Chains A and B, each alone.
Chain A
C-alpha cells in the first residue's frame, strides 16, 4: 500500500516548455487534489476532482490543466511553463471531499524549477 505517489520528484524546465506531473493513489479514494507551495508559504489549491470524471478549479488554476484519467490517477499539465510556476507541487486524495471533513492524504511532492 503505497498511498499517494508522485512522479517525477524533481524537474527543471526552461520557460515555454511543457510537462505533465503524474499522481496516483491506491486507497480507492474518490477525490483528488493538486496544490502548489511556494517557498515559505502555505498550500494553494490549483485544481481538484471531487469524483472520477469531474474536475474543478481551485484558488490558482491559471496556467494549468488537469486530467482525471481514472479513479486512481490525476495528472497536472503545464502547457507553457513560466518562472512564476517554480514551486513544490503536492497531490492529495481523500475518500470524500475535504471541505466536509474527509482527511486528505498527501504525496511526497514534486519540486519544479522553471528557468
Chain B
C-alpha cells in the first residue's frame, strides 16, 4: 500500500522560507497532489494542489519533479501564525482498482520569533 512520507517536525524562524517535502513513490498517473494545513482543534484547510512542475498561489508554492515521486511545499517568509501541521494528500490506486485517499502523517512546523 503506497503511503506518503513527510518529516515529523520542522523548526523555523519568522521571515524565513520553509520547504516541506513529501515522498509518494507509487503515485498513480491521474492523481493530483494536495497540501493541507491544520491548526489544533480545527479541520484541515486547503493550501495548494498541483499535478506537475510548479504551482504558485498567494500563500505557497508547490514544486513537483518530472517523475512525480515527491513534492515540496514552499512557504515564503513564514510568520508565527504559520505554526501548524501540514499534510500532503495523494490518491492511491490499489490492485483491486479501487482508490483510497491517503494523507501523510503530517509535518509539525514550529515558527519561532
Give A residues with C-beta under 8 Å from B. 4, 33, 35, 41-45, 48, 56-59, 90, 92, 98-101, 103-109
Contact = CB atoms under 8 A, between A and B. Distances in A.
A82 to B, nearest CB: 22
Interface in B59-113: 87, 89-91, 98-106
A105 B34 CA distance: 13
B101 A58 contact: yes
Interface residues of B, number: 26
Interface of B: 30-32, 34, 36, 41-46, 49, 51, 87, 89-91, 98-106
User: In the complex, which of the residues A48, A57, A104 has the most CB atoms of chain B within 10 Å of its own CB atom?
Assistant: A104
A57 B101 CA distance: 10
Given A43-B87, A90-B43, A108-B42, A103 B34 contact: yes
A100 B30 contact: yes
Given A33-B101, A98-B101, A104-B46, 5 more contacts: A45-B101, A98-B89, A99-B30, A99-B101, A109-B43
B99 A99 contact: yes
Given A98-B89, A99-B90, A100-B91, A41 B32 contact: no
B30 A56 contact: no
